[in-house]
Amino acid sequence: MSDLTRKTAVELSELMVSKQASSVEVTQAHLDRIGAVDGSVKAFLHVDTEGALAQAAAVDAKRAAGEKLGPLAGVPLALKDVLTQEGVPTTAGSKILEGWKPPYDSTVVKRLKAAGIVILGKTNMDEFAMGSSTENSAYGTTHNPWDLARIPGGSGGGSSAAISAYEAPLAIGTDTGGSIRQPGAFTGTVGVKPTYGGTSRYGLIALASSLDTPGPCARTTLDAALLHEVIAGWDPLDSTSINQDVPPVVAAARNGDVSGLRIGVVKELGGEGYQPGVEARFHEAVELLTKLGAEVVEVSCPHFQYALPAYYLILPSEASSNLAKFDAMRYGLRVGDDGTNSAEKVTSLSREAGFGDEVKRRIILGTHALSSGYYDAYYGQAQKVRTLIAQDFTKAYEQVDVLVSPATPTTAFAIGDRIDDPIAMYKNDLCTIPSNLAGNAAASFPCGLADEDGLPVGFHVMAPVMRDDLLYTVGAALESALAEQWGGVLMTKAPELEVTR
């Protein structure tokens, strides 16, 4: 049989339904692939070989017994290490959680298991999801399968690299400022940030609670939609979960008809600071959508230029509060408990030893922004800017159905290039951050390779709250039109990784 790791989730499901392959075979093929290439990609922090094969065998047994199974039953998946999975090490890329095995499943994991999806292991990420390259992980950097000398994006670089390296057909990421979409763009894959509240945060180790959103990563639009449907929907364990039906994402991905759809190109997300090859592919994609019947206009969102500074006040403020729970008392690293140090001293020593530079920078920044005397000028003002950004979206959606932009100003950069320049690193997320602040749905779809460096470019689509289906409509239309030009999805152009054992 041809290589199982090259199949989409939909194709794998068809093979299993028609009994041409078992889930154990599919899972083993991906475990073998991880063994062969992860030494150079380093997408995984933990591979749960036994657990994955046991889950796969259980799905095979259910299928043999004639039980009715979901469309993704038996398909393997890579899970970002920020979501708890009972009994499986969960670190969020931090030394402070090294060796921690959570005693409970996150809601996302519960739903994956209920759908019969096989969890292969936990993927690398920037520590506590703070970063855009995975270079802030305490466990080393993930490498971009398109060019191993480059970063895969972040924070969910491990999840996107895993699907781009054919180590898994599906992955879960979390998006606080672009951590699903930016790595998707950098690895030539699909990354979707659902509407805030559309997917549950229960069991997601919180970075910024008003922004964090789990979502699907895949190599095709339809695979992403099927995974989206599995994890989305109301959860009583998350007080900000939306109690409404999941938007019809799978139907939209199957249909992909953009005729008559009104698309707004955001004027402010382009021009200076944007790589020419990124802009070229983006504008070609817009033209293609026009040919497919979409009505394209330019739209201005004047406050988007302040999204980055507002975000770097709101996020650190929430993070400094969320990360206060790492106090070395109930779980995680404890340092300096020698019988003489006080609890407060042990907390301070443990946090010093357990947190990396970026986490320290953001905790201190957040502490500053929330301190009396600065609160109104920083955090309070940032919240007002957040209102203005949400109003820009509302006004734009009076004219158009979706907004579009490049997903990132540049393609993937070299490992080490921006690690000691926080501001250059932050600017990766210029296009993705506004949707987190406003809570609307957004996604990145592959739209070609930049001429300068031959690296993937992401096409960013932003849809109104709970209109996640529109993302998939645009993504599916673009994907099939581009696949016609290329003779397959963008990933088929990726270089072959050297196999080592």
Partner 1 sequence: MPSITREEVAHLARLARIELSDAELDHLAPQLDQIITLVGQVSQVAADDIPPTSHALPLTNVMREDENVPCLTPEQALSGAPAAEAQRFRVPRILEED
Q: Which of residues 433-462 bind partner 1 (CB under 8 A)?
A: 436-440
Does 330 help bind partner 1 (rule: CB under 8 A)? yes
Q: Tell which one of 8, 142, 159, 320 touches partner 1 (CB under 8 A).
A: 320
132 is catalytic: no
The span from the CA of 61 to the CA of 38, in Å, is 30
The span from the CA of 131 to the CA of 179, in Å, is 8
Q: Which of residues 231-250 bind partner 1 (CB under 8 A)?
A: 236, 239-240, 242
Q: Which of residues 404-433 bind partner 1 (CB under 8 A)?
A: 422-423, 426
Does 347 help bind partner 1 (rule: CB under 8 A)? yes
Q: Which of residues 171-200 bind partner 1 (CB under 8 A)?
A: 196-197
The span from the CA of 226 to the CA of 222, in Å, is 6
Neighbouring residues of 89: CB distance < 8 A, sequence distance ≥ 6:
45, 46, 99, 100, 101, 122
State the DSSP code for 40: H
The span from the CA of 44 to the CA of 33, in Å, is 12
Q: Which is nearer to partner 1, 80 or 351 (CB)?
A: 351
The secondary structure element, H or E, covering residue 170 is: strand 170-175
Using CA of residue 197, residue 199, residue 205, residue 207, what is the dihedral sign?
Answer: negative
Q: How far is the CB of 369 from partner 1 (least distance, A)?
A: 8
The one catalytic residue among 23, 155, 241, 317: 155
Q: Tell which one of 148, 367, 417, 419 touches partner 1 (CB under 8 A).
A: 367
Does 114 help bind partner 1 (rule: CB under 8 A)? no
**3 state SS of 3:** coil
Of 43, 8, 92, 108, nearest in space to 492 by CA: 8
Does 394 help bind partner 1 (rule: CB under 8 A)? no
Describe the strand order of the beta sheet including 295-299 as a list of residue ranges.
Answer: 44-47, 118-123, 76-80, 170-175, 213-218, 190-193, 441-449, 456-463, 402-406, 262-266, 295-299
22 is catalytic: no
Q: Tell which one of 75, 288, 369, 433 touches partner 1 (CB under 8 A).
A: 369
80 is catalytic: yes
- The secondary structure of 292-328, three-state, reads CCCEEEEECCHHHHHHHHHHHHHHHHHHHHHHHHCCC
The size of the interface with partner 1 (CB under 8 A), counted in residues, is 75
The one catalytic residue among 7, 13, 22, 80: 80
Q: Tell which one of 113, 348, 453, 493 touches partner 1 (CB under 8 A).
A: 348
Q: Tell which one of 292, 308, 481, 483 touches partner 1 (CB under 8 A).
A: 308
Q: Tell which one of 146, 274, 304, 355 touches partner 1 (CB under 8 A).
A: 355
Q: How far is the CB of 303 from partner 1 (least distance, A)?
A: 7
Does 397 help bind partner 1 (rule: CB under 8 A)? no
Q: Tell which one of 108, 161, 328, 402 touches partner 1 (CB under 8 A).
A: 328
Q: How far is the CB of 304 from partner 1 (least distance, A)?
A: 12
Q: How far is the CB of 332 from partner 1 (least distance, A)?
A: 7
CA angle 424–463–240, rounded 5-degree value: 85
Q: Which of residues 209-228 bind partner 1 (CB under 8 A)?
A: 210-211
The span from the CA of 324 to the CA of 163, in Å, is 33
Q: Which is nearer to partner 1, 43 or 463 (CB)?
A: 463
Does 35 help bind partner 1 (rule: CB under 8 A)? no
Q: Which of residues 58-87 bind partner 1 (CB under 8 A)?
A: none
Does 332 help bind partner 1 (rule: CB under 8 A)? yes
The secondary structure element, H or E, covering residue 447 is: strand 441-449
Does 378 help bind partner 1 (rule: CB under 8 A)? yes
Q: How far is the CB of 203 from partner 1 (least distance, A)?
A: 13
Does 304 help bind partner 1 (rule: CB under 8 A)? no
The span from the CA of 332 to the CA of 94, in Å, is 10
Does 357 help bind partner 1 (rule: CB under 8 A)? yes
The span from the CA of 376 to the CA of 397, in Å, is 30
Q: How far is the CB of 344 from partner 1 (least distance, A)?
A: 7
Q: Is the peptide bond before 137 cis (omega within 30 degrees of 0)?
A: no
Span from 109-117, 150-158, 179-187, 327-335 in contact with partner 1 (CB under 8 A):
327-335
Span from 1-9, 154-162, 279-287, 387-395 in contact with partner 1 (CB under 8 A):
387-395
The one catalytic residue among 94, 164, 179, 241: 179
Burial zone of 75 (CB within 10 Å; 0-12 exposed, 13-18 middle, 19+ buried): buried
Q: Mind giving me the DSSP string for 52-74?
A: HHHHHHHHHHHHHTT----TTTT
Q: Mind giving me the DSSP string for 90-108?
A: --TT-GGGTT---SS--HH
Evaluate whether 41 touches 102 at the Cβ level (below 8 Å): no
Span from 2-10, 29-37, 44-52, 360-368 in contact with partner 1 (CB under 8 A):
360-368
Q: Which is nearer to partner 1, 343 or 499 (CB)?
A: 343
- Integer angstrom CA distances of residue 144 from 67, 79, 137, 261, 357: 40, 17, 15, 34, 23
Q: Tell which one of 19, 64, 67, 101 touches partner 1 (CB under 8 A).
A: 101
Indicate which residues carry an active-site annotation. Answer: 80, 155, 179
